[in-house]
Amino acid sequence: MTERPAIRAEFRGTLGKFALDAGFAAPAKGVTALFGPSGCGKTTVLRCLAGLVHLKGVCEVDGDVWQDENGAFLPTYKRPLGYVFQEASLFPHLSVRRNLLFGAPRKDGGPREPIAFDEVVELLGLTRLLDRSPRNLSGGERQRVAIGRALLSQPKLLLMDEPLSALDRATKNEILPFLERLRDRLALPVVYVTHDIAEVERLADGIVLMDKGRVIGSGPLGELETDPSLPLAIARDAAVSLDGVVHASDQAYGLVILKVRGGSFIVPAPAAPAGERRRVRIIAGDVSLAREAPRPSSILNVLPARVVAMKPIDANEVVAVVALGPDGTGARLLSRLTRKSWEALGLGEGASVYAQVKAVALASGRGDLG
Amino acid sequence: MSAKVPSPPPEIWVPIKLTLELAAISTLSLIIVATPLAWWLARSKAWFKEAVAAVVSLPMVLPPTVLGFYLLIALGPDGPGGWVASLWGARTLAFTFTGLVIGSIISSMPFVVQPIRNAFAAVGDRPLEVAATLRASPPRAFFTVALPLASPGLLTGAVLGFAHTVGEFGVILMIGGNIPGRTRVMSTAIFDFVETMRWREANLLAGGMVAFAFAVILAMILIEKRFARAGA
């Protein structure tokens, strides 16, 4: 299922000593994370998308050409985008309300704007702040105002440059739920720059992996997390993010049954109506493999699967990619095991296994974003 | 100073009024000319911009007589000033009030451009980038973001420009000729009163200027303090 990419971008050039040559496409909906180590060029790509930096290349959003190879280049102020900077950068001489309305189209009557003032104020919890000066706000409040200000300019594309990295952990955890609500409530493509995998796992639908000014992979998050040729799968804290749908809730035990492609998981979570979307995170180290259906144990989640790929991490450990379902067509998990186990079990590509998952947690329930 | 002070002689009011007029008109013109110039100096990447900045700053280091000498030539019948004057049938801009305004603008320019340039530089790129991402065209970003954020610098520039125009002596004497009622301002009037041994008038004007200078410097310090607090 591939949608027509709504965002197509390609930028080449040098800034000082730094060389950038990055291209990617992203869908019309959802959050695309630009992810990579500090200094890999993520922010430069975002600034190119916004037209704040002018390198050679192409930039198309929602069918509109913002930049092309023939020298066409739309200045930033003519691009219907919203940009959230690392520091909130509110205008200190304007009240919160006037900051929020700075980029809002000024017209009376006419069709209702798709993103309404009251809705944004409510979504971001800004009601009490409207008449205050930005000088008297906390870091988290400022960043929420900055996000609201960007949204109210009625963008077709929202660009966010590490919007949480200047905040302390508690404030991050205060803002993340707002970002999740935003993602779920607004049909607006978001390009989100971060170097924090935890933010990616929690927010992103797609990911563009960058390293040293180049794109080393891009696509849906689950696909890239389980691609053994990319650094995500072999990282020490490798994990997969699975989007599932609530099937049933077991309030007595505080568990929810979540359907994913090729199987279902029992997840400790507050009861939720059937059909709601939930994301779980499964760490590679929490998944072990067995050749035969194991006997009943304390492990709740045991799912039939097939080995798809394997990659050695070092001399004694490997990471195996398994696809759920007896036929191996479902969602993919990572399993970290010793090379000795891999060989003792006689595992190989296509082998049928049972994935025993020791821990499954809601991605949004994590309180340990560092 | 125990005797009753008699009211000041009427002759001192003419130069005071003329000085205030000159300073007000010059300051207004200075803000209008210096603001775009300071904006360009703060934001341009042109290789020759520091050369332009140096030219603008020349009046700070040149002896006023040198500046006055060149201005006299430029404003005179054979200079561009003479040509401008011919538009309304006059022969020269030297020794006229208009000439004084032009001279004051040039000699006070560095004192106005510098603080405004610094204020624009302190605003930095970010607020303008933010404005651009919020659909503000460059003129709108300038008037709704850059100018309000740099307003303390504009205020400082205006106060300094006004004060420097009031205090200018050499240039005024060179191009104005100290004509009573037309080009005799406070600073040159004091010179004149001293030359003619009218100590009481000289004293009144000089004392007034000391008080004025004190008020200006105090105002500057207070503006700066407020600016620093606002920026924190």
Question: Which residue of chain B comes nearest to A80, CA vs CA?
Answer: B135
Q: Are strands A206-211 and A190-194 parallel, antiparallel or unpaired?
A: unpaired
> Which whole number is the average pLDDT over B158-163?
94
Phi, psi of A65 (to 5 degrees): -90, 115
- Opening angle at CA B24, ends B23 and B27, nearest 5: 80
Task: Please give the DSSP secondary-structure letter assigned to residue A32.
Answer: E
3 state SS of A201: helix
pLDDT at position B181: 86
Two structure tokens written together for B141: 């970003």
pLDDT at B230: 59
Query: Residue A66 and residue B22: Cα distance in Å, rounded?
Result: 52
Plot region of B143 (φ>0 → left; ψ -120 to 50 → alpha; else → beta): alpha
- Residues of A with CB below 8 A from B136's CB? 77, 102-103
Check B145 against A77: CB less than 8 A apart: no
> Do A215 and A45 contact (CB within 8 A), yes or no?
no
pLDDT attached to residue A53: 95
Distance CA B145, CA B136 (A): 10
CA dihedral B208, B212, B214, B216 (to 10 degrees): 180
Q: What is the pLDDT of residue A368?
A: 41
* % pLDDT > 90, chain B: 77
Q: Which residues of A touch B126 (CB under 8 A)?
A: 85, 87, 89
pLDDT attached to residue B5: 61
Out of A77, A83, A91, name the one closest to residue B127 (CB): A91
- In which band, very low, low, confident or very high, does the pLDDT at B229 lie, cut at 50, 70 and 90? low
Q: Which residues pair with A12 in a beta bridge?
A: A21, A56
**Are residues A157 and A26 in contact, defined by beta-carbon separation less than 8 angstroms?**
no
d(CA B122, CA B132): 18
Does B141 touch chain A if contact means CB atoms closer than 8 Å?
yes
* Minimal-distance CA residue of chain B relative to A53: B129
Q: What is the identity of the amino acid at A325?
A: G
Chain A positions touching chain B (beta carbons under 8 Å)? 50-52, 75-78, 80-83, 85, 87, 89, 91-93, 102-103, 105, 149-150, 153, 159
Residue B135: name the closest of A77, A289, A163, A327 by CA: A77
Give burial (CB, 10 Å; 0-12/13-18/19+) of B63. exposed
* Under-50 pLDDT residues of chain A: 1-2, 366-370
- Quick one: which H or E segment has residue A246? strand A239-250
Give every strand in the sheet of A332-338, ordered side by side.
A287-290, A352-357, A301-312, A317-324, A332-338
Q: What is the reported pTM?
A: 0.87
Decide the pairing of beta strands A255-260 and A18-26. Answer: unpaired
Phi and psi, residue B40, nearest 5°? -65, -45
Q: How far apart are CA B37 and CA A112, in angstroms?
A: 42
Which residue of chain B is at minimal alpha-carbon distance from A105? B135
Separation between Cα atoms, residue B181 and residue B179, nearest integer Å: 6
B129 close to A (CB below 8 A): yes
The closest of A341, A343, A261 to A305, measured between CA atoms, is A261
3-state secondary structure of B44: coil
For tokens 């959050």, the residue is: A31
Residue A366 pairs with which residues in a beta bridge? none
Beta carbons of B126 and A52 less than 8 Å apart: no
CA-nearest residue to A102 within chain B is B134
- Angle, CA A271 vertex, CA A270 and CA A275 arms, to 5°: 120
B3 pLDDT band, cuts 50/70/90, is low
Pairwise CA distance, residues B206 & B203, whole Å: 5
Tens of pLDDT, residue by residue over B71-92, are 999 999 999 999 999 998 888 9
Q: Are strands A255-260 and A239-250 parallel, antiparallel or unpaired?
A: antiparallel
**In this structure, what token pair is assigned to residue A235?**
């990282």
Q: Which residue of A has its CA nearest to B132?
A: A77
H or E element that contains B93 = none
Cα nearest neighbour of A91 on chain B = B127
Asked if pLDDT for residue B2 goes beyond 60, the answer is no
Interatomic CA distance for residues A287 and A285, integer angstroms = 6
Q: In A, which residues are within 8 Å of B144 by CB distance?
A: 102
Yes or no, beta carbons of B127 and A75 under 8 Å apart: no
CB atoms B134 and A93 under 8 Å:
no
Average pLDDT over residues B4-33: 88
CB of B131 within 8 Å of a chain A CB? The answer is yes
C-alpha A20/C-alpha B152 separation (Å) is 40
Pairing verdict, β A301-312 and A317-324: antiparallel
Q: What is the pLDDT of residue A369?
A: 40
Q: Let me know: does B71 contact B175? Beta carbons within 8 Å.
A: yes
Percent of chain B exceeding pLDDT 70 equals 96
Overall average pLDDT of the B51-70 stretch: 95
What span, in angstroms and rounded, lies between the C-alpha atoms of A225 and A241?
Answer: 8
Give the count of Cβ contacts less than 8 A between chain A and B: 55
Tell me the pLDDT band of B6, cut-offs 50, 70 and 90: low
The pLDDT mean for chain B works out to 91
Dihedral of the alpha carbons of A162, A166, A172, A178, in degrees to the nearest 10? -50
B140 pLDDT higher than 60: yes
| Chain A CB contacts of B133 below 8 Å | 50, 52, 76-77, 81-83, 103, 150, 153, 159
Closest residue by Cα to residue B64 from B20, B27, B30, B108? B108
Secondary structure tally for chain B: helices H, strands E: 12, 0
Residue type for position B70: Y
B-chain residues within 8 Å CB-CB of A83? 129-130, 133
Q: Is the pLDDT of residue B108 over 60?
A: yes
Per-residue pLDDT, averaged over B101-109, amounts to 96
